[in-house]
Amino acid sequence: MSITELEFEAASAESAPEQAIEGRSQWQLTWRRLSHDKVAVISLIIIVIMIALAIAAPAFAALTGHPPNSAYPNTGENAAGLPVSPGTNGFWLGTDGTGRDLLVRILYGARISLFVGVLTTVIATVAGVTIGMVAGYFGGVVDTVLSRFVDAVLAFPYVVLALALAVVLGPSLPVIIGVISFFSWAGISRIVRGQTLSIKEKEYIEAARSLGAGPFRIMFVHILPNLLAPVLVLATLYIPQAIIFEATLSYLGLGIQQPTASWGNILGDAQNFYQQAWWYVVFPAAALLITTLAFNLLGDGIRDAMDPRTERIFAASRARKLARARRRSRRRGQGDLPTASAPGEA
Amino acid sequence: MSVPGTENAAAQQANGQQPAPPDSDDDILVRIENVKKYFPIKSVGFTRRTVGQVHAVDDVSLTIPRGRTLGLVGETGCGKSTLARCVAGLIPITSGSITFDGQKISGLSRRAMQPFRREIQMIFQDPYGSLNPRQRVGSIIGEPFAIHNMASGNDRKKRVQELMERVGLNPEHFNRFPAEFSGGQRQRIGVARALAVRPKLIICDEPVSALDVSIQAQVLNLLADLQDEFGLSYLFIAHDLEVVRHVSHAVAVMYLGRIAEAGPKDPVYDHPRHPYTAALLSAAPAADPRTAAQRQRIILVGDVPSPIDPPSGCRFHPRCPKAQDLCQHEDPPLEVKPGDPVTHQAACHFPVQDGEDLATAGSATSAAGSRESA
Amino acid sequence: MTLLEVKDLKVSFPTADGVVRAVRGVSFTVDAGRTLGIVGESGSGKSVMTQTLLGLTPGGEISGSAVFDGVDLLTLGEDEMRKVRGAQISVIFQDPLTSMHPLYRVGWQISELIRAHDKSVSKREARERSIDLLRRVGIPRPETRVDDYPHQFSGGMRQRAIIAMALALSPKLIIADEPTTALDATVQAQILDLLLELQRESDTALIMITHDMGVVADIADDVMVMYAGRAAERAGKDDIFYAPHHPYTKGLLESIPNSSAGGDRLKPITGQPPSLIRLPSGCKFHPRCGYVMDRCLSEEPTLRPVGDDGYHVSACWLPTAAAGLSEQAEEIRKKTVRAERSEASEQIAEEIAAAPESEGSVI
């Protein structure tokens, strides 16, 4: 394909009719497109179920009669002192190494994981947006200082530092939240700075300045609302990262401490038993995997839904297939050889 | 360009129409004096030294009379938009002075400039880019009230709806987003926003060039009505000469940061003295096949030179069909040419005479011109 | 000689909000060596139509036929279309900056185009031809300029280079989609002159798509005025400008600021173009038309001859004698309208007369 052909393709993608986009606010449109995306909808449902289960964890504890931190040496361990398998003695998903109900512990772990994931993302997003927007809007020295700081944070070998911090400060929930937030905001900040730089050049910003709007009004009334879409996507993708970060720390024993349950420390304990008790590893790992995957797929879905171009590309490819089929059938109708010139895949 | 025989009559008529001489301060709203705006070019490396300057606006003096329209014409990169932003106080000027209503507004701090922001409003070219897509129309038009703490609550809403009605929008639509309006309607939103705080001057930067012809006429008529109603002054920037002729009382032609020619519109359009004005006029498309067929186009050779290193002497000389040695060395002052009304000035050593044939002269020197521009 | 004959071309795009009917049955012909100007506002379907001819509207549902030199373009597969594009039909787009690849030298791009369609041409030969082409479109010192990158060219020069590319394979038809809209008046004049001159030299047919009546007045032989996906009127250039029949054509002409016409006020067309998803009933122009009659509300007029030559056709219910800008013609229009109106159409006409400046609403 020569360059000129590429141009033609590009030009035609640009010229698809735009009328369809007009008519509703962008959030409504995004929601509508999102609701047509099966993967995103399923992901959203999974997340909602996860949250519901986490909230309902005490109910499960009451239902099974197994509080999260109670060990059952008689019913929850077999003769050799090993965990019992799922379905045994009323333990739906079996027990853990000390004879506690695995299901209840996973659900209590979900509370910690989701709480840490969402809270750190909120903190990181607020910090990242503020710093990125200030750096991008004011530019100059402010930008140089803030951007170098962001570079420094991003350059840190953060797992090592997080471990060191956890050791020094002693592992606890606030420390974990602080550590994860500190290493998450910089990436958001860098992206927000870039977005701010491009929004700053828009004519409506100049219009606001000509009306006499000050820097804070411009940042909060004009720039921030236009940043929300990309930031929302980014935040959705940061939640699973934070969940994994927390699990990693807890797995290494530097995060949530026993007896409080967390997916990370359940998995950490499970590694001693994986040969005897498969369920001890599989269920918490599956919970972690399904949750992070659902957040990631939802984030992708939101990104696609917010970018009208992707929809156009989908529509175009759908229609190209249609047109190809139509052309083939027409040629057949004219008695031409249909196989002679099957159009190449673009 | 003009029909022989009617020239004198037209000139006299133009003389009769002239506004009061520019010296009486009461009639002048904006006085732009020797304004220069240079943009430094920084080197890419670590030191970011200034390695050159873009002479975007270079020694421009103009006045905008009260209740009238000054049309500013020129091609891409001639500095007309930069000049507009200087007047609007959006960018500081390098030297010179701008006076608004008798008070100097150039060099003021943001705070000191604030009262003048109400008096000077802007309408932008791009009806899509100039409205915040996340704001509802009501808050877009109401924004000047919010910034200047003028009206609030129901009072603001009422005034916004009055404005919407005045510019021909349905006041019921104040809750909608800009994306739900067509280009022409968005431009009306921009007009309503500019009008909100009752300014004295509205700077229109290519307000209709992004609109379809029939919509363009609607907006031009609206602007004319508003001028009559509120006694507004306009600084009207456009590249479409017919549009500028239609809306303006006086025009100024810019080339490469300088004013090439300025004056009341009829003398400038009917008897252009600067060869660049003549070339622009001859190149403007006329929606009339007979005119188009008869007209002798002056085809300018080469491209507009770089404003970083503008040509010596007259800036137009490398492309000028009438250029002579003098033009290379000496920068012609903006002055009244013999036989012209006192308000009609041109910056040319060898002004164009009525009926002079520049189209043929142009082809004769085209070889030299292309060598120069290359 | 008829080079391109388009018959009843329809293009629509299914979208989430409904079907966008961009082109709703357009027919026209272009002869070798002639220029057809296609005029219309944004959303009139003028660009979609020509892009469809070149297979550049993926996603569109297309019907009708477009016979170019004996071949129906609409039945061609992508590979066959690629051979036609560039070699026999070339396109000049509005924005010269995006039509060239920024990372390759101008000369290389032209050479590559030549060699893509004819492998037997050597690199040296292709380069020589590129230089010749650049010289032909008036680029000074083509021998050195051929090695420049697109960003080293000014807007006007870039558009010249695009024209050089369009000419590279001696096409029979050039489609120019708003080629001068992004350019300044003096440069626009240069480019239009260049196109005319090149056309005269090589007997190429030219389709000029524009919203600017001035451009049409300059270079077209025939003009087709489009509105809401259909041809409103089609005629030789002089008839369009001096004897327009369709009120939309007349409105377009009258809304242009014109010093010779005089008068302080412009005469805009009321309202705005309709949404292509929800088109009005009957004649699609009736909600904006000052001459609206009863039948306009229910029946959509088709093109019918209105002039003496048989070429001048208009899709309007007004009598054929109503063509022109004269007072006589206006008298005929008024008389017809008076006779043909009842309550419904009278009300629309009153609304238009009451608020000639208002913009109406699409939603």
pLDDT in tens, B237-246: 988 888 999 9
pLDDT over 70 at B41, yes or no: yes
| End residue of a domain, out of B224, B248, B272 | B248
Among A211, A219, A224, A231, pick the best mutation site for testing chain B contact (most B Cβ within 10 A).
A211
C-contacting residues of B 59-118, CB under 8 Å?
Answer: 75-76
Chain A residues with CB inside 8 Å of C59's CB?
A: 16, 312, 315-316, 318-320
Count CA atoms within 13 Å of residue B179 on its CB side.
15
Closest to C56 in 3D by CA, of A4, B197, A265 = A4
First and final C-alpha spacing in chain A: 9
Give chain A's mean pLDDT.
79
C192 CB neighbour count, 10 Å cutoff: 23
| End residue of a domain, out of B200, B224, B248 | B248
Q: Which two tokens stand for residue B123?
A: 């309408």
Which is it for the CA torsion C323, C327, C328, C334, positive or negative?
A: positive
C-beta separation of B158 from B139 below 8 A: no
In a domain, B257, yes or no: no
In a domain, B1, yes or no: no
C-contacting residues of B 208-267, CB under 8 Å?
Answer: 212-218, 220-222, 224-225, 239-243, 245-247
* C22–A323 C-beta distance less than 8 A: no
| CATH number of the domain enclosing B208 | 3.40.50.300
Phi-psi group of C236: left, alpha or beta (phi > 0 → left; psi -120 to 50 → alpha; rest → beta): beta
Q: Give the nearest chain B residue to C266 (CA atoms).
A: B217
- Give the amino acid at C21: R
Sheet with C205-210, strands from edge to edge, namely C89-92, C173-177, C205-210, C35-39, C222-227, C230-236, C313-314, C304-305
Interface A-C: count of C-beta contacts within 8 A: 110
pLDDT over 50 at B33, yes or no: yes
Helix spans in chain A (H): 3-14, 26-35, 38-55, 57-64, 102-138, 140-155, 158-169, 173-200, 203-211, 215-217, 224-251, 263-270, 278-306, 308-334
Separation of alpha carbons B311 and B305, rounded Å: 7
Q: Give the nearest chain B residue to C256 (CA atoms).
A: B213
Which is more confidently placed, C359 or B59?
Answer: B59
Chain C residues with CB inside 8 Å of A334's CB?
A: 75
In this prediction, residue C290 carries a pLDDT of: 87
- H or E stretch covering B255: strand B250-255
Separation of alpha carbons C68 and C56, rounded Å: 16
Q: Which of A19, A312, A315 sits opposite C275 (nearest CB)?
A: A19
In a domain, B86, yes or no: yes
In a domain, A21, yes or no: no
In this prediction, residue C358 carries a pLDDT of: 58
Chain A residues with CB inside 8 Å of B133's CB?
A: 26, 226
In a domain, A272, yes or no: yes
Query: In whole angstroms, how far apart are CA C284 and each of B174, B253, C276?
Result: 28, 42, 10
Chain B residues with CB inside 8 Å of A225's CB?
A: 132, 134-135
In this prediction, residue B20 carries a pLDDT of: 42
Q: Which two tokens stand for residue C31?
A: 């002869």
Does B152 contact C at CB distance below 8 Å? Answer: no
Does C259 contact B at CB distance below 8 Å? Answer: yes
- The verdict on B96 and B203 lying in the same domain is yes
C-beta separation of B14 from B266 below 8 A: yes
- For residue C190, give the 3-state DSSP assignment: helix
In this prediction, residue B66 carries a pLDDT of: 93
In this prediction, residue B361 carries a pLDDT of: 54
- The verdict on B204 and B71 lying in the same domain is yes
C-beta separation of B86 from B35 below 8 A: yes
In a domain, B114, yes or no: yes
Q: Residues B194-218: what's their mean pLDDT? A: 89
Alpha-carbon distance B25 to nearest alpha carbon in chain A (angstroms) = 26
Does B66 contact A at CB distance below 8 Å? Answer: no
- Give the amino acid at A291: T
Which is more confidently placed, B48 or B310?
Answer: B310
Report the domain count for chain A: 1
pLDDT over 60 at A119, yes or no: yes
C265 CB neighbour count, 10 Å cutoff: 13
| DSSP states along A192-215 | HHHHHHHHHTSHHHHHHHHHT--H
Predicted confidence pLDDT, tens digits, chain C (363 residues) = 789 999 999 999 887 677 888 999 999 999 998 999 999 888 888 888 888 888 888 778 899 999 998 889 998 888 888 888 878 898 888 766 667 888 889 889 889 888 888 888 899 999 999 998 888 887 878 888 889 888 888 777 888 888 888 888 888 999 998 888 777 787 788 888 888 888 888 889 999 999 888 889 988 999 999 999 999 999 999 999 999 999 999 999 988 887 655 567 888 888 878 888 888 999 999 988 889 999 899 999 999 999 877 889 999 999 988 888 888 888 889 888 888 888 888 888 888 777 655 554 433
In a domain, B71, yes or no: yes
Report the domain count for chain B: 2
Q: Give the nearest chain A residue to C99 (CA atoms).
A: A7
pLDDT over 70 at A261, yes or no: yes
Does B148 contact A at CB distance below 8 Å? Answer: yes
Alpha-carbon distance C246 to nearest alpha carbon in chain A (angstroms) = 26
C-beta separation of B60 from B25 below 8 A: no
C-beta separation of A8 from B161 below 8 A: no
Q: Residues B46-52: what's their mean pLDDT? A: 74
* B90–A206 C-beta distance less than 8 A: yes
Residues whose CB falls within 8 Å of the CB of residue C120, separated by 6 or more in sequence, listed in order: none
* A212–B118 C-beta distance less than 8 A: yes
Domains detected in chain C = 2-220 (3.40.50.300), 249-354 (no CATH)
Among B128, B134, B163, B185, pick the best mutation site for testing chain A contact (most A Cβ within 10 A).
B134
Peptide bond into A259 cis (omega under 30): yes
Query: In whole angstroms, how far apart are CA B108 and each of A217, B82, B98, B111?
Result: 20, 18, 11, 8
Closest to B274 in 3D by CA, of B202, B349, B324, B197 = B349
Angle among Cα C195, B209, B269 to the nearest 5 degrees reads 80
pLDDT over 50 at B362, yes or no: no
Alpha-carbon distance B36 to nearest alpha carbon in chain A (angstroms) = 20
In a domain, A214, yes or no: yes
Q: Which two tokens stand for residue C7?
A: 């018959």
- H or E stretch covering B120: strand B120-123
**Residues of A engaging C, defined by a Cβ cutoff of 8 Å:** 2-8, 10-13, 15-17, 19-20, 22-23, 32-33, 36, 311-312, 315-320, 322-323, 327, 330-331, 334, 341-344, 346
* B148–A210 C-beta distance less than 8 A: no
- The verdict on B185 and B332 lying in the same domain is no
Alpha-carbon distance C16 to nearest alpha carbon in chain A (angstroms) = 7
* B190–A212 C-beta distance less than 8 A: no
Pairing label, strands C35-39, C222-227: parallel
Separation of alpha carbons A189 and A192, rounded Å: 5
Alpha-carbon distance C280 to nearest alpha carbon in chain B (angstroms) = 17
Q: Which two tokens stand for residue C131?
A: 């230089």
Chain B residues with CB inside 8 Å of A144's CB?
A: none
Q: Give the nearest chain A residue to B180 (CA atoms).
A: A23
In a domain, B260, yes or no: no
* A3–C98 C-beta distance less than 8 A: no
Chain A residues with CB inside 8 Å of C276's CB?
A: 17, 19
Q: Give the nearest chain C residue to B371 (CA atoms).
A: C140
Separation of alpha carbons B208 and B216, rounded Å: 5
Closest to A280 in 3D by CA, of A97, A77, A109, A61 = A97
In a domain, A62, yes or no: yes
* A225–B135 C-beta distance less than 8 A: yes
In this prediction, residue A325 carries a pLDDT of: 59
Beta bridge partners of B35: B60
Separation of alpha carbons B182 and B188, rounded Å: 10
Separation of alpha carbons B273 and B260, rounded Å: 9
In a domain, B16, yes or no: no
In a domain, A224, yes or no: yes
- The verdict on B225 and B316 lying in the same domain is no
Residues whose CB falls within 8 Å of the CB of residue C173, separated by 6 or more in sequence, listed in order: C3, C4, C30, C68, C88, C89, C90, C204, C205, C206, C207
Q: Residues B259-276: what's their mean pLDDT? A: 93
Give the model confidence (pLDDT) of A8-60 as tens digits.
333 333 333 333 333 456 677 778 888 888 899 999 999 999 999 999 989 98
In this prediction, residue B307 carries a pLDDT of: 85
- Give the amino acid at B194: A
Q: Which of A11, A36, A327 sits opposite C75 (nearest CB)?
A: A327
**Residues of C engaging A, defined by a Cβ cutoff of 8 Å:** 13-18, 20, 22, 43, 47-48, 51, 54, 56-62, 75, 77-80, 82, 85-86, 91, 93, 98-101, 104, 109, 112-113, 116, 165, 275-277, 362-363
| CATH number of the domain enclosing A168 | 1.10.3720.10
Q: What are the DSSP E strand ranges found in chain C?
A: 2-15, 18-31, 35-39, 61-68, 71-72, 89-92, 173-177, 205-210, 222-227, 230-236, 304-305, 313-314
pLDDT bucket at B43, cuts 50 / 70 / 90 = confident
In this prediction, residue B16 carries a pLDDT of: 40
Q: Give the nearest chain B residue to C355 (CA atoms).
A: B168
Task: Print the domain residue range for A247.
Answer: 39-306
Does C154 contact B at CB distance below 8 Å? Answer: yes
Interface A-B: count of C-beta contacts within 8 A: 71
Q: Which two tokens stand for residue A157?
A: 């070998």
Closest to C46 in 3D by CA, of C227, C249, C213 = C227
Q: Give the nearest chain C residue to B269 (CA atoms).
A: C259
In a domain, B79, yes or no: yes
Q: Give the nearest chain B residue to C155 (CA atoms).
A: B303
Helix spans in C168-245 (H): 185-202, 213-219, 237-242
Task: Print the domain residue range for B355.
Answer: 286-374
Alpha carbon dihedral A262, A265, A267, A269, in 10-degree steps, equals -140
Separation of alpha carbons B365 and B371, rounded Å: 10
In a domain, A213, yes or no: yes
Closest to B131 in 3D by CA, of B190, B88, B84, B181 = B190
| End residue of a domain, out of B191, B225, B248 | B248
- The verdict on B63 and B122 lying in the same domain is yes
In this prediction, residue A94 carries a pLDDT of: 81
* A211–B143 C-beta distance less than 8 A: yes
What is chain A's length?
Answer: 346
pLDDT over 50 at B1, yes or no: no
In this prediction, residue A322 carries a pLDDT of: 57
| DSSP states along A222-288 | IIHHHHHHHHHHHHHHHHHHHHHHHHHHHHTTSSSPTTS--HHHHHHHHTTTTTT-HHHHHHHHHHH
- The verdict on B213 and B348 lying in the same domain is no
Count CA atoms within 13 Å of residue C319 on its CB side.
14
* B300–C214 C-beta distance less than 8 A: no
Chain A residues with CB inside 8 Å of B141's CB?
A: none
Q: Which of B114, B177, B180 sits opposite A212 (nearest CB)?
A: B114
Separation of alpha carbons B165 and B163, rounded Å: 5
pLDDT over 90 at B63, yes or no: yes
- The verdict on B232 and B147 lying in the same domain is yes
Q: Which chains would you list as touching A if contact means 3+ CB atom pairs under 8 Å?
A: B, C
In a domain, A346, yes or no: no
In a domain, A18, yes or no: no
